[in-house]
Amino acid sequence: MLEKVTEFFRNLPAKKCIECGKEMEEQHECYGNVCNECLHVK
Ligand SMILES: [Zn+2]
């Protein structure tokens, strides 16, 4: 099961911040669609 989840995330395109458009390496869904930098700015 874990392997399938890893595969799923691997196939996802790079996540981009909706604020600055910067690609995010992190895959944590709890971030929403905003990168750390933008989160801290606000
Ligand atoms: Zn950002």
Distance between Cα 37 and ligand 1 center (Å): 6
- Going from the Cα of 9 to the center of ligand 1, the distance in angstroms, rounded, reads 20
Helix (H, G, I), strand (E, B) or coil at 24: strand
- The angle subtended at Cα 28 by Cα 6 and Cα 10, nearest 5°, is 25
Q: Give 4 Cα–ligand 1 centroid separation in angstroms.
A: 29
- Which tens digit of pLDDT belongs to each residue from 2-31? 788 888 767 777 788 899 998 887 655 555
pLDDT of residue 20: 93
What is the domain partition of the chain in residue ranges? 2-41
The answer to whether 3 and 11 have CB atoms below 8 angstroms apart is no
Q: Does the pLDDT value for residue 33 go beyond 80?
A: yes
* Distance from the alpha carbon of residue 13 to the mean position of ligand 1, in angstroms: 17
